Amino acid sequence: MARRLRVQLLGPFRVWVDDRALPPSAWPSRKVCQLLKLLITFRYRTVLTDELIEWLWPELAHDSARNSLWVAVSRLRRLMELEVERGASGCILTQPPGYRFNPAEGCEIDVDCFLQYIRAGRAHQTRSEWSAALEAYEAAEALYRGDYLCEDLYEEWANPERERLAEAFLELEEGFAEVQLTLGRCGEALAHARRVLEQDACHESAWRLVMEAHYRAGEPALALQAFARCRKILVAELGIDPQAETVSLHTRILRHPLPAPPPRGLPCPPSSAPHLPFVGREREWLLLSEMLGQTLAGRGAVVLLAGQPGIGKTRLLEELAGLAAARGVQVLIGRCYELEQNAAYAPIVEALRGHLPTLSGTRPPCPLAQLAVLAALLPELRAIWPDLPICQPLPPDEERTRLLSAVAQVLMGCAQGGPVVLLLDDLQWADPSTLQTLHYLARQVSDRPLLLANAYRSTHVDAQHPLTVLTEQLTRSGVLTEISLTAFAQSDVALLLDLLTGERDTAALAEQLHRQTEGHPYFLAEVLRTFVQEHLVAVDSAGLWHVAEEAGVRLKGAWPLPPNLRAAVLGRLDRLAMDDRRLLDYAAVVGRAFSLPLLARLLDQPEASLAERADRLAVKGFLQHRPPEGYDFGHELMRRAAYEALSQPRCRLLHRETAEALADLAAPADSVATHYAASDRPWLALNHALAAAAEAVRVAAHEEALAWCQQAMAIAETHPAAVPPGFRTRLFLQQRTLWYYHGDLERSLAAGRAALAAARSEGDPACELQALWHLAHDETQLVAGGIAGLQDRAVHLAHALGDPAAEARSLARLGSDTGFLAAPAERQTSLDVLDQAVQLARQAGDLKLLHYVLCEFWGVGRLPGARANLEEALMLVRRLADPQEEVGTLAKLADLLTRQGDFPAAEGYAREGLALAEQVGNPAYGAWNRRALGQTLVGLGRVDEGLAHLGQAVETFTAHAWCAMLAGTLLRQGLALGAAGQWARAIPVLEQVAALSGETYEVYEQAYALAAIGEARLVLGEREAGCRNQSAAAALLPQVGLPWHRGGILVHLAAGRLLRGDVACALAAAGEATALAEAEDLREVRAQGLKIQERALREK
């Protein structure tokens, strides 16, 4: 059942579940709390598993970190939701390759409310609904209790959201001030404007509000002082003067002693074509502004913008041109073209020709002799000044020098001695003469007001390109500033959307756009243009965009590439050599990242040759290096364009070739299965999909394992004739394992029955035997009355097959499954069956089989002999060098020794197992070792430390839904609390045990819990309830044959009877427990029984 959640992120982090605040003690761990903060912070997207690992467990090995993440996710789900259906969660969604927080109904997040109130306030303010605007702003202000996640100020992942919300708070206060000012409340307006300035002293619009408020309050002197302070701070902090709007307000205050009502704004006409605002590039813009200021001061500069196509070089030059023109600077603009690379001085001529119309009828900008030299390039000059002399030819070197000098003179003369900005774009296609001209001009900028701002595509320039030579020369001379442009950050995309829409609630769409385009400006612009063309964006009369919800939905799915973008990428791909294009085709099929060994196998070429070609493609911007030995597409959209250009038959063929190559390279099964499934022979994915599911189960990734099983089933149903023999049986067996470890025993039982039916239908006795083993084991936990002869049938089938190993395994399973549920009189039969299994395993000479059979004694064997068997099993598994199995063997041995009461030995094995589990990434068996360690520490008197370990084991088993281990661990936790005198805390824990074991028919756990609950309630004075619990335990006792459980039940029954004053019955129960303990070497049980006997004899 979903719970109502309320989350406070502004200020201290707090969570309310069903209107009750979660105290700090309710969080299973700090990492679980941080996980929720992360998922909520990025709630509008799927947070990648690798991101979460990097932020939360950077110190752990990857496998260990993934396991820790799975455990933390499961703990968080249990905390947030009362009943989490197995494999499903309404709050924390599994969305491979990561997780996402789902703010469903009943979930209130203060950040969302805060932003909604601000938007509402702005809307009311726009409609002149002043009271409603104030109410909305007041509500928003009340929610802003401090910085976003103020306790996590040093967490980098929280910084972008914290900054965004801090800006929203400034916007709120500014809007508050505007409304108050409109209503004539100058004092209140001042207070809100000053709050903005307290956070950002350079917030110029807030200074204007302060000036306006003082002015309207009849305090013009204070308004002028505010302007002076504003200018001083801006100059000191940013090195800039106040904006024209601020200066205009200052002038108005000087000229008009009394405030005048503000003029009504005229409505803006609707925009015919959407224009994208200029965003980002703060660092680059500051550098260019400084260079322009330096040029205005009489000292020029040279700047070179570099970047891949579409990264925004041209736009930055355009913005610089606009700024320069606004400051009265003469701007000349030229461009190089791919088809005109041999046209001498082409961009220089274009730049000068664009200025010629302004020269008509004016005095020559420089001596006529200089103009005459240029007339050969610009014949129009003679039409403007007919008196130009005829130039006499000179030797080539002198002619070039004269021409370069003429260009420099004309450039400077165009501004009549004032500053000049020359902008040349696409220098990668510049002719040699143009580069020589730039070099000549660059050497003179130090004493001339000339700014040379140029741009080139870095993907087209290698070490041998003439532009590289020019760049190196200018760098050595110290006159060049080179700026490399990169993609937009997500915050830049968000700002762009904010400016387009006039809203601040665009984070989700910004995240989706940034993820799909990776912040590439051209790709971003094309996607937005497609939105407009497909009417997913409407532009209102104020020029603001209104984005339909479908736009965000489109970005989440497999949306088609915008036509212009696709054409641009394919145009670049089509110009590649055939071998390079073939390499990229294979790489696009492999995926965005790929390794050289794989491509070498696919293309049947040496790795060294491929590495050279890949490096060339990286220089051209198609690929980028991915350490240690791989490459990655420069952009996912580029990979998509290459992939979608493949014909379907060839694409499927390449997928099959990729799958075959991956299989030859022993790649993970999930990679092989993925490519086979997309190939022309998808049925070849079946076995690999099952292997991928098994691997996912091994690391407790149950949702992923289930997805693989479902995909395999879909392929099998689509291609029934191609399904390999025995596949359906193995699929059902895999599903059975998945559901069993997921804790869904009913589905596990159903899958086991389906596997048995399929094995019989396919005539596969080996698989039928496996199905019988699993089905019988599940029925011990779900079918009242124990197993229905299934293990006996498995033994008979194994014997009929003439397979001693299978017979030994069947006998071991029979002995173990019956032993757990056997009554005392039946227990010896189970032990005899296990002994028979050991004999057969030794005869078979299979060490792995013998290890398996010996381990089956851990729960049901008599302790002296069982200990020897487990110690032999540990020795065998170390000989087999199987660390995964060694973790489980250590857990079983440590568990057995805790029941025996040999706590020092148990502690050593448990700590060893815990360390190994961390090393190999096995959290489930690691928790088993931790359980044994916790019980051991309690037995050694270190109760608090032991309880802490038991609590962590409970969390892990809960996360993995391993019900049987969870019940046993809770039992030990409850017993430890009782032994520590914390009876009130012990009762609810033990009640969970009784409920769980009742569901799984583990009567030994249920009876033990009831006996302990009864004693606890009698201690607390709840006599009637305590007697009921003890009577229920006594009724179940005849069915309990496991010595540790039976002895413990007897001890608690004896203690309870003693509390009720029934000394004789207490002595009888304690005596039976002591006798059993001596026979089975249960040292702790024996000590407890003797202690009760002494108390009873004293009271008798």
CB 244 within 8 A of CB 207: no
Report the pLDDT value the prediction gives residue 458, as an integer from 0 to 100.
87
In terms of DSSP bridges, do strands 47-48 and 98-101 run parallel, antiparallel, or are they unpaired?
Answer: antiparallel
Question: Is residue 1100 over pLDDT 80?
Answer: no
HEC profile for 504-526?
CCCHHHHHHHHHHHCCCHHHHHH
Average pLDDT over residues 181-200: 82
Q: How many Cβ atoms are within 10 Å of 237's Cβ, its own excluded?
A: 10
What three-state secondary structure class fits 547? strand
Tokens representing 189 are 């307006």
Residue type, 952: Q
For residue 856, the surrounding DSSP H or E stretch is none
Residues 711, 677: Cα–Cα separation, whole Å:
9
* Structural domains of the chain sorted by starting position, each given as residue range(s) with its CATH number in brackets: 5-108 (1.10.10.10), 184-261 (1.25.40.10), 282-484 (3.40.50.300), 490-559 (no CATH), 564-646 (1.10.10.10), 656-724 (no CATH), 725-874 (1.25.40.10), 882-961 (1.25.40.10)
Tokens representing 880 are 């087999």
Question: Is residue 160 over pLDDT 90?
Answer: no
Report the pLDDT value the prediction gives residue 71, as an integer from 0 to 100.
78
Tokens representing 281 are 């590039």
In terms of DSSP bridges, do strands 5-8 and 107-109 run parallel, antiparallel, or are they unpaired?
Answer: parallel
Report the pLDDT value the prediction gives residue 1003, as an integer from 0 to 100.
86
CB 703 within 8 A of CB 86: no
Distances from the Cα of 96 to the Cα of 60, 100, 341, 599, 853, angstroms: 21, 10, 49, 26, 38
Question: Is residue 878 over pLDDT 80?
Answer: yes
Question: Is residue 1080 over pLDDT 50?
Answer: yes
| Alpha carbon 748 to chain centroid, angstroms | 31
Phi, psi of 10 (to 5 degrees): -85, 115
Average pLDDT over residues 308-336: 85
pLDDT tens digits for range 769-816: 888 888 877 776 555 444 447 777 888 888 888 888 888 888 888 888
Question: Is residue 589 over pLDDT 50?
Answer: yes
Question: Is residue 261 over pLDDT 60?
Answer: no
Average pLDDT over residues 739-760: 80
CB 425 within 8 A of CB 335: yes
CB 76 within 8 A of CB 59: no
DSSP string, 976-1037: HHHHTT-HHHHHHHHHHHHHHHHHHT-HHHHHHHHHHHHHHHHHTT-HHHHHHHHHHHHHHG
CB 75 within 8 A of CB 14: no
Least confident of 269-278, 701-710, 717-726: 269-278
Residues 567, 337: Cα–Cα separation, whole Å:
19
Tokens representing 8 are 């406070």
pLDDT band at 540 (very low <50, low <70, confident <90, very high): low
Average pLDDT over residues 439-457: 90
Report the pLDDT value the prediction gives residue 262, as an integer from 0 to 100.
35
pLDDT tens digits for range 932-981: 999 999 999 999 999 999 999 998 888 776 777 888 999 999 999 999 99
pLDDT tens digits for range 72-123: 887 788 787 744 444 455 678 877 778 888 876 668 888 888 888 888 888 8
Question: Is residue 1034 over pLDDT 90?
Answer: yes
CB 277 within 8 A of CB 271: no
Tokens representing 96 are 């491979």
Least confident of 611-620, 626-635, 750-759: 626-635
Residues 424, 430: Cα–Cα separation, whole Å:
9
Report the pLDDT value the prediction gives residue 303, as an integer from 0 to 100.
95
Residues in the chain: 1100
CB 971 within 8 A of CB 1008: yes
Tokens representing 806 are 């299978």
Q: Which residue is associated with the tokens 């809960």?
A: 958
Report the pLDDT value the prediction gives residue 58, as an integer from 0 to 100.
84
Q: Which residue is associated with the tokens 């060994």?
A: 597
Residues 435, 400: Cα–Cα separation, whole Å:
13
CB 478 within 8 A of CB 298: no
Phi, psi of 444 (to 5 degrees): -115, 0
Average pLDDT over residues 348-372: 78
Average pLDDT over residues 222-250: 85
Least confident of 46-55, 220-229, 374-383, 695-704: 695-704
Report the pLDDT value the prediction gives residue 747, as an integer from 0 to 100.
80
End-to-end CA distance of the chain: 53
Percent of the chain with pLDDT over 90: 25
Least confident of 293-307, 309-323, 413-427, 533-547: 533-547
pLDDT band at 274 (very low <50, low <70, confident <90, very high): very low
Report the pLDDT value the prediction gives residue 132, as an integer from 0 to 100.
81
Question: Is residue 181 over pLDDT 70?
Answer: yes
Least confident of 59-68, 282-291, 849-858: 59-68
